[in-house]
């Protein structure tokens, strides 16, 4: 396979300076507000975004550790394949969060429900569209019945880069 390179289009600013203690999903960050600052050259690309209540942010997990095929994710004590989790230590460290759009000011979006670390590089933005993004009845696999705990769960150090002695 060939290499794919992405260039960040902006930076996400949040109240969370480190992963440890941060919410692990947007439901755990319901009141957390932040701003998404796009490079000025992308301001025009935000035209009409104000009509959407929620946005999908795609970003780079810039502070996660090396990927592992098997992980013990938050909300569980069993080992699962990384692709069956939302663990940040992935082969391509791409994260996704659905956030509420509060307002736009030029190339800055003010959002609520943000669960990422301050300074996270933004890769893309897509509007959340319930008719497209909520397919109806769905299964939650090993997470069945555990979703309510995401509102109070906080990150620990299990996916942080390991320091070399």
Q: By percentage, how much of the chain surpasses pLDDT 90?
A: 54
Residue 151 has a pLDDT of: 55
Q: Which of 91, 131, 107 is nearest to 46 (CA)?
A: 107
Within the chain, residue ranges assigned H as helices are: 130-133
Higher pLDDT, 126 or 154: 126
Q: Structural domains in the chain?
A: 10-36+49-128 (2.40.30.70)
- Residues sharing a CB contact under 8 Å with residue 46, sequence separation 6 or more, in sequence order: 38, 104, 107, 109, 125
- Residues sharing a CB contact under 8 Å with residue 163, sequence separation 6 or more, in sequence order: none
Residue 64 has a pLDDT of: 83
pLDDT at residue 114 above 50? yes
Whether the Cβ atoms of residue 93 and residue 67 lie closer than 8 Å to each other: yes
**pTM (2 decimals)?**
0.83
DSSP 74-103: TT-SS-EEGGGS--S--SS-EEEEEEEEEE
- Round the average pLDDT of the chain to a whole number and report it: 86
List the structure tokens of 54.
């929620």
CA distance 131 to 150: 25
């Amino acid at each position: 396979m060939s290499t794919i390179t992405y260039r960040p289009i902006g930076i996400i600013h949040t109240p969370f300076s480190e992963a440890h203690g941060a919410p692990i999903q947007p439901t755990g960050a319901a009141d957390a507000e932040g701003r998404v600052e796009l490079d000025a050259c992308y301001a025009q690309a935000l035209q009409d975004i104000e009509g959407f209540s929620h946005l999908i942010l795609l970003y780079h997990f810039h502070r996660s550790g090396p990927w592992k095929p098997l992980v013990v994710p938050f909300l569980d004590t069993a080992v699962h394949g990384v692709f069956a989790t939302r663990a940040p230590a992935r082969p391509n460290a791409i994260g996704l969060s659905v956030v509420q759009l509060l307002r736009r000011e030029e190339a800055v979006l003010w959002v609520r429900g943000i669960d990422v670390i301050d300074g996270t590089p933004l890769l893309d933005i897509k509007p959340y569209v319930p008719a497209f993004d909520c397919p109806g009845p769905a299964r939650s696999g090993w997470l069945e019945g555990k979703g309510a705990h995401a509102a109070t769960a906080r990150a620990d150090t299990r996916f942080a880069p390991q320091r070399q002695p």
